[in-house]
Structure 1
Amino acid sequence: MSLELFNLKGRRALITGSTQGIGLALARGLCDAGAEVVLNGRSAERLAAASEGLGGARTLAFDVTDHQAARQAVDRFEAEVGPIDILVNNAGMQYRSPLAEFPPDQFDLLLQTNIASVFHVGQAVARHMIRREHGKIINIASVQTALARPGIAPYAATKGAVGNLTKGMATDWARFGMQCNAIAPGYFRTDLNAALLADGEFSAWLEKRTPAGRWGRVEELVGACIFLASEASSFVNGHVLFVDGGITASL
């Protein structure tokens, strides 16, 4: 009986930035838990390839940094296909540079991709969830929501903002039967971390620094996502769940 709390059958989940990496892994995990998944990205070709790997999952192509495009795409989907019950705001990017030389155009791009997109898509989907008085929003934060490292100060700023926007969403929308939470991954083997993975010195440092003694695997984020997407988390709101091998718990 308790396992039924995690069953997502009959639910539909939109995952932004889901043609690869964490987004695709979460889409696959939600699908395995019974949800109908809707993949998002800007490239129709990459969406088609990802969809094929998920047995022909639905796709919804739009630019998450464009407020009007996000709203129009979500409204059209809701009208023509049906409700979006779960939103995973996963789209994100990284840019590494010493802060004193950090390019302002890259700073602006980080803001738009990592935090403005959470507002744009979150608001577009929430308008429908509020009317139905039910919905789950899961924002992908980061270990940098709580920590910082040299060369990524603007990235850390955006992920700190994701954590606080998540709390704001919960504060405004919990009374409408919605749960808004975040997952904060530690260091995972993804394309976003390719430069760090290739750096033997950094990997050795990270494995020593992390109590679990290793990098994370994207599949290890799925359980947290299913929990926050399901009825098992019906009274969890405004929480940032760190999935980081213990790195934020240890000096």
Structure 2
Amino acid sequence: MFDLSGRLAVVIGGGRGIGRAAAEALADQGAKLVVADQSLELLTEAFGAREGVVLRQLDVLDSGQLEALADEFPETDILLHCPAKGARKALVDLSMDEVESVLRLNVTSLWDTIRCFAPAMVSRGRGSIIAFSSIRASVVEPGQGIYAASKGAVSQLVKGFASELSPSGVRVNAIAPGVVETPLTSSLRSNEEWYRAYSEKSALGRWAQPEEMAGAVVYLASDAASYVTGSVLSVDGGWTAIDGRYNPPI
């Protein structure tokens, strides 16, 4: 059910972190791989030794470049969108530029990416589109309000696209990670108190590694998820399932 042999997977933002781990997992399951990222250096470092992987430098905020990529690979079966950024600051202290920067990358670029790739998928009557939401779409803490708002928008955008594309055979889903050790979270991990507190918050008592998101990507991309669309799959170590950081005696 998880065999992806013969399918073409396009990974947007696959140069590092979760995107890189997911792209490697898709290739390991037999998918033909196209990996795009803003940094060609990162792509070459990650995938230069892998035979048959197509690398493309891409500015995901440039509609023209997205359209060109979609036109170049009209037989895309799996589309994975990974780029994201945050702005750890009180909502009242954010500038308009900071707000627009987060929303443009996290939300608008996802909409634009799907807009470009979906028509060919619809015409072929199949496809799996996967985005990344977050635990912050469900639970928020001070300083992450705009990031949380953007990830809430991702969850709803996925459901909106699923409602419109799934009747044509194109599934659209999202993954909601918890805290993952990636470049995006490097500032948090550098603070020992934060790192420990975040570890203790999850039921598993630790941060995730990027590779631990890859199984969910493969699942949603594969026939194992053939009846799954419009869903947001939590891969958060139990973060959103348990109540608070204090364990009362039982």
**Secondary structure class of the residue paired with 2:165:** helix
Q: Tell me which amino acid in the other structure corresponds to 2:118.
A: A
| Structure 1 gap segments, 5+ residues each | none
What is the TM-score when the length of structure 1 is the normalising length?
Answer: 0.93
Aligned counterpart in structure 2 of residue 169 of structure 1, from 161, 169, 180: 161
Q: Tell me which amino acid in the other structure corresponds to 2:46.
A: A
Kept in 2, the 8 Å contact 1:66–1:120? The answer is: no
Runs of 4+ in 1 over 6 A off after TM superposition: none
Q: CA offset at residue 53 of structure 1?
A: 4.4
Instruction: Give the distance between the partners of 2:162 and 2:219, measured in 1 at CA.
Output: 17
Match of residue 181 from structure 2:
189
Instruction: Give the distance between the partners of 1:68 and 1:186, measured in 2 at CA.
Output: 33
Match of residue 153 from structure 1:
145
Aligned counterpart in structure 2 of residue 210 of structure 1, from 181, 202, 206: 202
**Secondary structure class of the residue paired with 1:14:** strand
RMSD value over aligned CA atoms?
1.2
Instruction: Give the distance between the partners of 1:53 and 1:107, measured in 2 at CA.
Output: 38
Residues 206 and 44 (structure 1), Cα distance of their counterparts in 2 relative to 1, 3 Å cut: closer
Task: After superposition, give the CA deviation of every residue in 1:165-202 in whole Å (9 maximum; x if it has no partner).
Answer: 00011100111111111001100111110011111111
Instruction: Give the distance between the partners of 1:87 and 1:180, measured in 2 at CA.
Output: 9
Q: Tell me which amino acid in the other structure corresponds to 2:210.
A: V
Q: How many residues align?
A: 243
Kept in 2, the 8 Å contact 1:63–1:69? The answer is: yes
**Secondary structure class of the residue paired with 1:87:** strand
User: 1:228-247 alignment to 2 at 5 Å?
Assistant: 228-247=220-239
| Structure 2 gap segments, 5+ residues each | 244-250
Q: Tell me which amino acid in the other structure corresponds to 2:169.
A: G
Match of residue 20 from structure 2:
24
- As a proportion of its length, which structure holds more helix? 1
What is the TM-score when the length of structure 2 is the normalising length?
Answer: 0.94
Instruction: Give the distance between the partners of 1:54 and 1:106, measured in 2 at CA.
Output: 37
